[in-house]
Amino acid sequence: MAKAPTVYDVAERAGVSIASVSRVLRSPDSVKEQTRERVLEAVRHLGYVPSANARGLAARRTNVIGLFFPGHDDVAGSEGQLVAASGGVTTVRDDPTTEPETNNFYFDEVLRGAEIEAWRRGFALMVAAGRGASREAIVNDIAGRVDGLAVLARTVPDELLTHVARRIPVVVLAATRGTDAFDHVSVNNAPGMRAMTEHVLKAGARSLLYIAGPEDSPDDAERLQGFRAALDGNAEVAVELVRGDFSRGRGREIALGIDPLPDAIVCSNDQTALGVLDAMGRRSISVPDDVMVTGFDGIAAGRHSSPRLTTVHQPMVELGRAAIQALTARLDDPSMDARSLVLPVQVVLRESCP
C-alpha cells in the first residue's frame, strides 16, 4: 500500500507554507483565490485527507462544535421495522389538515444558521438529540467530542451544564440569562408578543383566547409576560388562556372545541396558529372576518397558509449563527464575562389579522 500523503507533500506541490495549507482546509474564504486553488489542486492530485486526530492533538481542539436539541417523547410508529422491504408502490389520499408531529421548523432554521456559521469559522457541527434519562449520557458523550456545546434552554438540567462547562464552553439558546454563568442567545420575546397583542386590540378585538406553549418553555414564559403586559389597563377585554404544546396538532385540537368564538386567537407559536387555521377551515369559519389568528416565529409555512398568517418573526437562522459566534468567542477568550445576546423581532402583518 502506498504511503499516505502528508500536509508537507501538499505544501511542497502547491509551493506554499504548511500554515497556508491549514488555512485553506479550515477557512477557505480567508485565503486568496489563487492560493486556495493551488492548494486544493494539490490536495486532489495527491489524494490528501486531513487527519482530525493529528490536528486535534496539535491544537488541543477537535474543531467540532456540538448542538443539542430535545428528543421526542413519543413518536408514533417509531418501534419495529421502519419500512417494509417489498419494493412496492401504494396510493394514499393526503389529508392537508394533518402533519407528522415530528415536524419542527424552528429547529430546522436554528440548525441551518449553526451549520452556516460553523462552516464559515472552519468548524464541523455535531448534532445530537435526547430525551428522558438518556439526556445526561448523551450530553456527557457529546461534550467529550467537541470544543463547545450549544443547548436549547431547559432541555438539560443546570447542574449537568455546570459540570460540562468545567471542560468546554456552553451557550444556552432561547432564554435570557438569569443567575447562571453561561452565555445566552435569545430573541425579544416579551416586547414582540406585547406589540402583536396591542395590534390585535387596535384591530378591534375585545375577547381574546391565548394558546400558550409548554410550561417549561422559557420562550413561552416571556411571550405570556408580553401578552399580559399589553392587557394592563384593558379591564373591558375578556381573556381566556389555554395551555398548548407548540404543536400544530394540539392547536387544531383546541380550536375545534372553541365555543363561543373569541374575537381573536393569539398563539404562542406559528405551529399552533397553523393548527388553529386548519380547524377554522374545517368548521367553515372565516379568518379574519369571524375570528383573527396570530402566531409567533415566522416559519415559512405561515407565508403559504390560507389565509396567510400574521406573526412575530424571530431571526431563527441568526439565532443559530449567534450561538456559534458566542462559542468561538468563548474559545478565543475563556476569561471574559458571561454575556446575554438578545436579537430583535418583527411584527409581520398578513391576512389572518387585518
| Region(s) of the chain under CATH 1.10.260.40 | 7-50
195-236 residue pLDDT tens: 999 999 999 999 999 999 999 888 999 999 999 999 998 889
In this prediction, residues 26-32 reach a mean pLDDT of 80
Phi-psi group of 275: left, alpha or beta (phi > 0 → left; psi -120 to 50 → alpha; rest → beta): alpha
CATH tag for 7-50 (out of 3.40.190.10, 1.10.260.40, 3.40.190.290, 1.10.357.10): 1.10.260.40
The pLDDT score that the predictor gives to residue 82 is: 60
CATH class of 64-72+103-187+317-344: alpha beta
In this model, does residue 76 exceed pLDDT 90? no
Q: Which cell is 249 given?
A: 396538532
- Burial group, residue 275, by CB count within 10 angstroms (0-12, 13-18, 19+): buried
Please give the Cα distance from 322 to 78 (Å, whole number).
33
Residues of the chain with CATH 3.40.50.2300: 64-72+103-187+317-344, 189-314
Q: What is the pLDDT of residue 90?
A: 75
Q: Is the peptide bond before 288 cis (omega within 30 degrees of 0)?
A: yes
Low-confidence winner among 35-39, 173-177, 297-301 (lowest mean pLDDT) = 173-177
Reply yes or no on whether the pLDDT at 74 is more than 50: no
DSSP label of 350? -
Strands (E), the chain: 64-70, 124-130, 148-152, 170-173, 183-187, 207-212, 238-243, 264-267, 292-294, 311-313, 340-343, 346-348
**Which of the residue ranges 175-184, 198-207, 307-316 would you say has the lowest mean pLDDT?**
175-184
Q: Taking a C-beta distance cutoff of 8 angstroms, is the pair 56, 31 a contact?
A: no
Homologous superfamily of 189-314: Response regulator (3.40.50.2300)
Average pLDDT over the chain reads 87
User: Is residue 266's pLDDT more than 90?
Assistant: yes
Task: State the pLDDT confidence band at 12, using cuts at 50, 70 and 90.
Answer: very high
- For the ranges 7-16, 256-265, 328-337, the maximum mean pLDDT occurs at 256-265
Backbone angles phi, psi at 67, to 5 degrees: -135, 120
Rounded mean pLDDT of 16-34?
85
Query: What's the pLDDT at 176?
Result: 72
pLDDT per position as a tens digit, 79-90: 556 666 666 787
